[in-house]
Every structure is written in C-alpha cells, then in structure tokens.
Chain A
Amino acid sequence: MSSDIEFSQKFEINGGDFSNAGRISTSIKEILKEIGIEPSIIIRASIASYEAEMNIVMYAQRGVLTLSITPEKLHLKLEDEGAGIENIEMAMKEGFSTATDEMREMGFGAGMGLPNIKKNADKFEISSIPNKGTTLDIIFCLNKKEKN
C-alpha cells in the first residue's frame, strides 16, 4: 500500500494553541494547490483538515496530521493524544458539543466539526479510546470525474 505514495508530510499540532489554530490547514491548502489537486477537492480537504485541526487544538494535548497523496487518493490521518471521545455516535450528531466558552469564542465548538468532516470526505473513519486519544482517517478520491 505505502509503496505507491507520491507525497507524504507530517505536521505536529499542539493542543490548546488557539492563536496558531488553523495554520497547518492553511499550509496544506497551499501544498494541494501547488501539487495541482482539483479545486473542488482542495476546498473539501481543506475544510475537513481545518475542522480536524481545530478539534485537536480544542480537545487534545497534542496530535499529528499526516497528509499523504497517491495518484488515487488524498489521505488525511489525524492521531491525537488526549481525552478521546466517550460516545462517538453522539459526537457525530450535529449540535452535540462539549466545548468550553473559550472554544466558542474562536467561532468553533458548535458541534459541527465531525459532521462537517464526514460530509466533505469520500470516506471517513473514526476510532477513539477514552483518556488515550482519537484517530481520524479522512479520504478523498482523486480519480473521480468531476460532477457538475
């Protein structure tokens, strides 16, 4: 599987670093533009990346985002160390949130993050161990013909 990877880069995300939150996703967007990924996929991947990055900043101690691109797919993997998610089914519901006021002041924490990620991705997987951490796999297909 990993032998066909064309591009792969890891980014470290610090939990609680609100002033830099979103910076990595901004860089990822630039990278995707440079590689020449199709614009509608860039937007969907950037949105998913941004929401996932915010989640780590808001809820975890630290995390790593790995961007890998093959001719077939763009894969965002986010692994964090933190509180984890007790009830994934609840967390996937729009409007469900455990956010603090600080998070809400940043314009986030409204319980839209995970649903937004899922909506934008072609494939989305989430697993979590409470008090340990959460892993997200967000995949976008690159060889699909664009729908109008």
Chain B
Amino acid sequence: MTLKEIKELLQAEVIIGEERLDDEITFAGGSDLMSDVLAFGKPGILLLTGLSNAQSVRTANIIDAKAIVYVRGKKPDKMGIELAREIGIPLLSTKFMMYTACGLLFSHGLPGVSGLAYKK
C-alpha cells in the first residue's frame, strides 16, 4: 500500500512529505506509548500515534519508521515538524481515532508488525 493510498483511506492531511507519497508501506503499528514503539517497532514501520510532541518524531527516527500518521486530528508541534523535515520523515494527520484508523488500514490489507521485538 502506498502512502498516497493510506492518505486517501484515512482522509488524511499531509503535514510534510508530499513528495514521498509514492513510498510503499508494508506494515504498521499504533501506540501512544513511545517505550512500546521502541520495543515493537521495526525498520520500515508506519507509526500511528496520538502523541504529538517531538518525541514521536525522535522515536520514529530511532526505529527507522517510514512515516507517522497522527490520529484524532492531532498535529505535531513546531519542533516535531522541523525535526521530521530534517530527517525526512513524512507526517500525516487523520481525524479518525486510533482504533478506526488502524482498523481501516488493517481491513484493507496492511498488516501489523510481526513478532514482538527487534531480532538480535
């Protein structure tokens, strides 16, 4: 599924990264808890989160996430947007809540992250 398809499915707004909408996304994970993201995240993940401070972008960068979708209409703060621009991570924002956003993606064939932790 491309980021563009994800954008359309979630009726999302692209905050930054319009030029990356053709990127292919193969799996996703959702959490507001960054320690959980650090524990289950894998490179290439699409991260859905309701946490809109700069930590969400830093966490996504640490685990090599492909993009972030902010749920329930949230948008990152200025520092988060700046950081995402620097490291080149697309940011989207959807009005759907976490459950619905994840459900929509999953039911359209985007699987969750497999396994529980990054393989050593």
Q: B-contacting residues of A (Cβ < 8 Å)?
A: 19, 21-23, 25-26, 29, 39-40, 43-44, 46-47, 50-51, 105-108, 110, 112-113, 116, 119-120, 122, 147
Contact = CB atoms under 8 A, between A and B. Distances in A.
Give the one of B32, B35, B54, B120 with max A CB within 10 A: B35
Contact of B61 (A19, A26, A113, A122): A26
Report the contact-size class of chain B (Cβ under 8 Å from the partner).
20 to 34
Contacts of A105: 53
Contacts of A106: 34, 51, 53, 55
A105 B34 CA distance: 10
Q: Which label, helix, strand, loop or mixed, suits the secondary structure of the B interface? A: helix
B35 A116 contact: yes
B118 interface: yes
Contacts, number: 81
Interface string B10-53: 00000000000000000000001111111100010000010101
Contacts of A25: 58, 62
A112 B62 contact: no
B118 A50 contact: no
A116 B120 contact: no
